[in-house]
């Protein structure tokens, strides 16, 4: 393995000069810089990051931590997230991926090992981990879940505008009886989505019907149950906004089991745009949140924060947008689309 000293010898300069040349120091005459760069590349030099990191007291490593990597839910996130992160991350950085629950995850968190940490969070259970990271003094950005604590940099999709968009779409398609199957109680995403939904209703002069708020917990089963109670109502809604895609699947199954046509008799809107949303029957109209965009934005934030640890923590919400597929009937020009 060749080192800067080898290059120095070949170039007839000191290894210090080589180091400076290779790192673009302004102290080196451009002509020698070029010469050294050429020699280095001719010799196939690759820097030893261990040595580099030892002296600079960095790790050149960004850690991505996933909550509940065990659960299938997060599957599609991972690839998207990585894509977004890589897009923003200089090639010099290593990106490691671990589950928050992985054994030893907590202990291995220290500033020596990570220059910065991204947490792709899905639930409040992650808070313990998040605060551990923060108290270890490692630059941190929490992704994907909206946080209350303003001291933690955070980027997530705007659940409220998402809920709003969902209800708006139903309205624009002519629906006036619009129900909601709510997410897990206590989760910020649940309340934000409901808030958005109500915003829209109120904006359109619809008064919320208590029967049309039915609880769920983000699971398929809860969606199934919730849909059944909606279908049992004397005045059924014509459209149902499901707090996430999983519950929308459950709702679909309930309709299917009772022979209720989608979108003929009832329209369904999901939230999250998980990969399977395009494969359901009919394909699910849902709110797309761009995980890769969130991840990319979060990475930018993290990098900035690594440079200026004392800057004000930023919280960003990225717009979510509706992707129209075939689970919502258009009541206005009567073609079921």
Partner DNA sequence: CGTTATGATGAAAACGTTAACATCCATAGT
Partner DNA sequence: ACTATGGATGTTAACGTTTTCATCATAACG
Q: Is 160 in the site for DNA (CB under 7 A)?
A: no
| Residues 272 to 331 in contact with a copy of itself, rule: CB under 8 A | 275-276, 279-281
Residues linked to residue 316 through DSSP beta bridges, in sequence order: 155
What does 19 bind: a copy of itself, DNA, none (CB cut-off 5 to 8 Å by kind)? DNA
Q: Which of 24, 27, 30, 91 binds a copy of itself (CB under 8 A)?
A: 91
| Residues 5 to 44 in contact with DNA, rule: CB under 7 A | 5, 12-17, 19-20, 22-23, 26-29, 32
SS (H, E, C) 213-252: EECCCCCHHHHHHHHHHHHHCCCCCCEEEECCHHHHHHHH
The Cα–Cα gap between 228 and 118 comes to: 39
Collapsed DSSP state (helix, strand, coil) of residue 13: coil
The Cα–Cα gap between 149 and 153 comes to: 9
What is the chain's Cα-based Rg?
26
Asked if 319 contacts 282 with a C-beta cutoff of 8 angstroms, the reply is: no
Output the CA torsion 250→237→160→187 (10° steps): -50
Which of 55, 235 has the CB closer to DNA? Answer: 55
Q: At what angle do helices 220-232 and 245-257 cross, to 10 degrees?
A: 50
What does 280 bind: a copy of itself, DNA, none (CB cut-off 5 to 8 Å by kind)? a copy of itself
| Residues 113 to 152 in contact with a copy of itself, rule: CB under 8 A | 113
The Cα–Cα gap between 112 and 59 comes to: 6
What does 80 bind: a copy of itself, DNA, none (CB cut-off 5 to 8 Å by kind)? a copy of itself
Residues binding DNA: what is the number (CB under 7 A)?
28
Which of 9, 258 has the CB closer to DNA? Answer: 9
Q: What strand order describes the sheet that includes 178-181?
A: 213-214, 178-181, 239-242, 267-269
Which of 22, 106 has the CB closer to DNA? Answer: 22
Q: Which of 14, 23, 25, 110 binds a copy of itself (CB under 8 A)?
A: 110
Sign of CA dihedral 199, 200, 201, 205: positive
What does 184 bind: DNA, a copy of itself, none (CB cut-off 5 to 8 Å by kind)? none
Q: Is 80 in the site for a copy of itself (CB under 8 A)?
A: yes
Q: Which of 51, 125, 203, 311 binds a copy of itself (CB under 8 A)?
A: 51
What does 291 bind: a copy of itself, DNA, none (CB cut-off 5 to 8 Å by kind)? none
What does 191 bind: a copy of itself, DNA, none (CB cut-off 5 to 8 Å by kind)? none
What does 210 bind: DNA, a copy of itself, none (CB cut-off 5 to 8 Å by kind)? none
What minimum distance in Å lies between the beta carbon of 302 and a copy of itself? 17
Q: Tell me if the bond preceding 226 is cis, omega within 30° of 0.
A: no
Q: Is 55 in the site for DNA (CB under 7 A)?
A: yes
The Cα–Cα gap between 72 and 275 comes to: 12
Strands (E), the chain: 61-66, 94-99, 116-120, 140-143, 154-157, 178-181, 213-214, 239-242, 267-269, 286-288, 315-318, 321-323
By the criterion CB under 7 A, which residues form the site for DNA?
1, 3-5, 12-17, 19-20, 22-23, 26-29, 32, 45, 47-48, 51-52, 54-57
By the criterion CB under 8 A, which residues form the site for a copy of itself?
1, 46, 48-51, 53-54, 59, 61, 66, 69-70, 72, 74-76, 78-80, 82-83, 86, 91, 94-99, 102-104, 107-108, 110-113, 249, 252, 256, 275-276, 279-281
């Amino acid at each position: 393995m060749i080192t800067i000293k080898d290059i120095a010898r070949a170039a007839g300069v000191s290894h210090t000069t080589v180091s400076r040349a290779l790192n673009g120091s302004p102290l080196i005459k451009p002509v020698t810089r070029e010469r050294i760069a050429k020699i280095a590349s001719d010799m196939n030099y690759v820097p030893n990051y261990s040595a580099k990191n030892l002296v600079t007291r960095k790790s050149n490593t960004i850690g991505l931590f996933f909550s509940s990597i065990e659960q299938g839910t997060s599957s599609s996130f991972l690839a998207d997230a990585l894509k977004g992160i890589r897009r923003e991350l200089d090639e010099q950085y290593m990106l490691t991926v671990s589950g928050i629950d992985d054994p030893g995850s907590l202990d291995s968190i220290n500033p020596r090992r990570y220059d910065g940490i991204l947490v792709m969070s899905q639930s409040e259970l992650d808070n313990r981990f998040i605060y551990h990271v923060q108290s270890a003094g490692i630059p941190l950005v929490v992704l994907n879940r909206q946080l209350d604590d303003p001291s933690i940099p955070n980027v997530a999709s705007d659940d409220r505008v998402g809920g709003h968009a969902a209800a708006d779409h139903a309205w624009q398609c002519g629906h006036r009886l619009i129900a909601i199957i709510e997410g897990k109680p206590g989760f910020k995403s649940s309340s934000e989505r409901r808030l958005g939904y109500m915003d829209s209703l109120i904006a359109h002069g619809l008064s919320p019907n208590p029967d049309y708020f039915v609880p769920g917990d983000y699971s398929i089963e809860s969606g199934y149950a919730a849909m059944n109670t909606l279908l049992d109502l004397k005045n059924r809604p014509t459209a149902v906004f499901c707090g996430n895609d999983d519950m929308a699947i459950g709702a679909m199954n309930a309709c299917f089991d009772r022979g209720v046509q989608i979108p003929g008799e009832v329209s369904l809107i999901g939230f999250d745009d998980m990969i399977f949303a395009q494969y359901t029957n009919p394909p699910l109209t849902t709110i797309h949140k761009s995980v890769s965009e969130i991840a990319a934005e979060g990475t930018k934030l993290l990098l900035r924060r690594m440079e200026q640890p004392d800057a004000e923590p930023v919280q960003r919400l990225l717009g979510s947008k509706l992707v129209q597929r075939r689970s919502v009937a258009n009541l206005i020009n009567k073609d079921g689309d």
